[in-house]
Amino acid sequence: MKIIITGANGQVGTALQRVYAEHSLVLVDLPDFDITRPEIVAQLAAEKPDLIFHPAAMTNVDACARDPRAAFQVNAFGTQNMALVAQRTGAPMVYISTNEVFDGTASQPYHEFAPTNPINPYAASKLAGEKIAARLVQKLYIVRIAWAFAKGGNNFPAKIIRAADKFGELKVVTDEISSPTYVPDLVDALKKLAATDHYGTYHLTNSGVCSRFDFAVEILRQSGRGDVPVMPITSEGFERASTPPKYAPLENNFAAALGITLRPWQAALANYFSD
C-alpha cells in the first residue's frame, strides 16, 4: 500500500511512520513539502496513494490566535489541498481534528455529532478543515483528539517536567478539562479504523477525564517528582493569547461500536515514561 503522511515529522506523523513502516510511505512536511502550495495537489496526486493521513497543521494555538490568517492558510487551505489529492485519486483520507471545535460549555463529554462552536482561531481553522474535507472527500475519516503527547514532542508532559525542574514549583489551571491522547495508542487505533472502511466522524482520546491540574499532578507523581508543589489556579490567572474551551472531553461512541477503544490515560502515561 502507498500511504501519504502529512506533518510526517510531527508527533502523530512520526508515530504513523512507525506503525506503517512496512508500506511505501510518501512523507510530507516542511520545508520540502508545503501543503499550502497549490502545486502540491498535482504533485501528490501523481503518487497515486492508496491512503492519506493528514495530521499536518499549525498546532501552536497561541500563534494561531496571534495570526489567524496563517492558521487558516495551513489548517483550512492546506487541508483543502490535501482533500483535493484525495478527491482526484479516490484515496481515503484521515483528517486529524481537535476537541477545540467545541466551545467547552457542556457538562458531559462531547459526542461525535454534538454541535460545534469554535471559540478561538486555531479551532475555527481546524473546523474549516473538517468542513472543506467533508465537501470534497468521499472516503473521509475525521478523527478528533485532545492533548496529544508522545516521547520527543513539545507536549504538556514535557513542559510540566521542564518547568518543575527549572522552577521547583508549578501553578496549573483547574478549569481546563479534557482527556489526554497518548499518540502511540492513537496511531494503533487509527490503523484499525482505517482498515474498516467505516468512513465518518470519530473521537479517539485515551479514556477518562481530567483537568490540566490533575494531569500535571499525575505527570509529576509518575516521573518521580511527586514532591514538587503544584498550586491550583484558574485560567483568569494564566495569561495567554488563545482561549481554550474549558470543558471539552470527547466521548468515543462510534469507534467503540467498531471495537476500537483506548485505555485509561493514566496507564498510557506510564508507558510514556517507560517506553
Ligand X SMILES: NC(=O)c1ccc[n+]([C@@H]2O[C@H](COP(=O)([O-])OP(=O)(O)OC[C@H]3O[C@@H](n4cnc5c(N)ncnc54)[C@H](OP(=O)(O)O)[C@@H]3O)[C@@H](O)[C@H]2O)c1
Q: Which spans of this chain sit near ligand X (rule: CB under 6 A)?
A: 6-7, 9-13, 28-30, 33-36, 55-59, 74, 78, 96, 98, 126, 145-148, 153
CB of 202 to ligand X, least distance (A): 13
Least distance from ligand X to the Cβ atom of residue 227, Å: 27
Shorter beta-carbon distance to ligand X: residue 49 or 229: 49
| Closer of 26 and 169 to ligand X (Cβ) | 26
| Integer CA distances (angstroms), 60 to 105, 155, 222, 242, in order | 22, 11, 26, 9
**Minimal distance in Å, beta carbon 252 to ligand X?**
14
Select 229 or 275, whichever has its Cβ closest to ligand X: 275
In the complex, minimum distance from the CB of residue 192 to ligand X, in angstroms, rounded to a whole number: 18
| 122 in catalytic set | yes
Q: Which of 20, 110, 122, 141 is catalytic?
A: 122
Q: Which is nearer to ligand X, 141 or 147 (CB)?
A: 147
Q: Which residues are catalytic?
A: 122
